[in-house]
Amino acid sequence: MRQKRDFPQTSYALPTAAIGFRPEFLDFRRGIHVGDLEDNERITRILKLGLEARYRQPFVTERWGRGVYWHWIGYLPRANREAKPVSNRVSFGCSKFFLSVDTDERLFKCGLQVERGYVKAPQDFTSCQLERDWDWHRLMRALKPAGPLEKELKRLVMREGFRIRAGSWEEEPGYLTKANFTGSSGIARALRKAPGDTWTGFQLFYAMDENDVRSSTGVDLVESMMALFEEVTPVMNRCMQMELS
């Protein structure tokens, strides 16, 4: 596993003395511990404040899960959502930073996510249907051989150890890594062949197993998450209407 000290430092100083997050809050059996905690222990609040300080704009927090433990948390720039003429009231169409604890694979994942949703949504999920202003379309247009996005993805996967998941969420996950990365064409092909009646998306992330997490401090993990978000920001900017700087 690539050690945290290899990641670039965030471009501003985090108030580390105020961070009460602990490694055991990433629970590989139950998910991300977010409930029944003090504000300075809650990763949702810590990362939101960190992102808003780093990028100097408001972020919206999304999540999948309920109760004390959540499985997925996302952060999206509010300005990018508000810029959408059709979809400014929903977050599905927006690129997001994300973190998750995959309790099946026993991995902690941190990076970027762009969703397609349904090409034709079921009647009860109309807000999940792909619209013309979703960031998905920018992602697909940017997936060109030898283009700027491909160069950034190649750097992150081949040199920095990131992984890519591309396709239907309902299928067994398969990942593109240094061992099998072939460029933008393969990613675009996997995304296009995903059935229109399944939830489909793209994730670019760095993964840590339980030993990696437990051998770090809470402050180390928060700093790594923020550094990973910075690493994927150039890719995120290729997909958004309103870029981060």
Please report, for the chain, the start and end positions of each structural domain, with discontinuous segments joined by +: 21-239
Average pLDDT, the chain: 93
10 falls in which pLDDT band (50, 70, 90)?
low
The pLDDT of residue 17 is 56
- The pLDDT tens digits for 143-177 are 999 999 999 999 999 999 999 999 999 988 889 99
User: What is the rounded average pLDDT of the residues 176-205?
Assistant: 96
CA distances, 226 to each of 93, 122, 159, 230, 243 (Å): 23, 36, 19, 6, 17
What is the mean pLDDT of the segment spanning 16-39? Answer: 93
| pTM for this predicted structure | 0.93
The rounded percent of the chain whose pLDDT value lies above 90 is 88
21-239 folds as BirA Bifunctional Protein; domain 2 (3.30.930)
Residue 12: per-residue pLDDT:
53
What pLDDT is stored for residue 18 in this prediction? 80
Helices and strands per DSSP (H, E), number in the chain: 7, 9
H or E segment at 141? helix 135-142
DSSP letter for 103, please. Answer: T
Q: Give every CB contact of residue 59 below 8 A, 6+ residues apart in sequence.
A: 48, 51, 52, 75, 76, 77, 78
Instruction: Yes or no: say if 106 and 28 are a contact pair by the CB < 8 Å rule.
Output: yes
At residue 145, the 3 state secondary structure works out as coil
**pLDDT category of residue 244 using cuts at 50, 70 and 90:** very high
Question: Looking at the predicted structure, is the pLDDT value of residue 217 above 50?
Answer: yes
pLDDT above 70: percentage of residues in the chain: 93
Is the pLDDT at 13 greater than 60, yes or no? no
- pLDDT confidence of residue 172: 85
Check residue 4 and give its pLDDT.
43
Q: Which helix (H) or strand (E) holds 215?
A: none
**Does residue 6 contact residue 185 with C-beta atoms inside 8 Å?**
no
Amino acid at 27: D
pLDDT at 174: 87
pLDDT at residue 131 tops 90? yes
Task: Write out the H or E segment, with its range, that includes residue 108.
Answer: strand 107-117
Tens digit of each residue's pLDDT (9 = 90 or more) over 57-95: 999 999 998 899 999 999 999 999 999 999 999 999 999
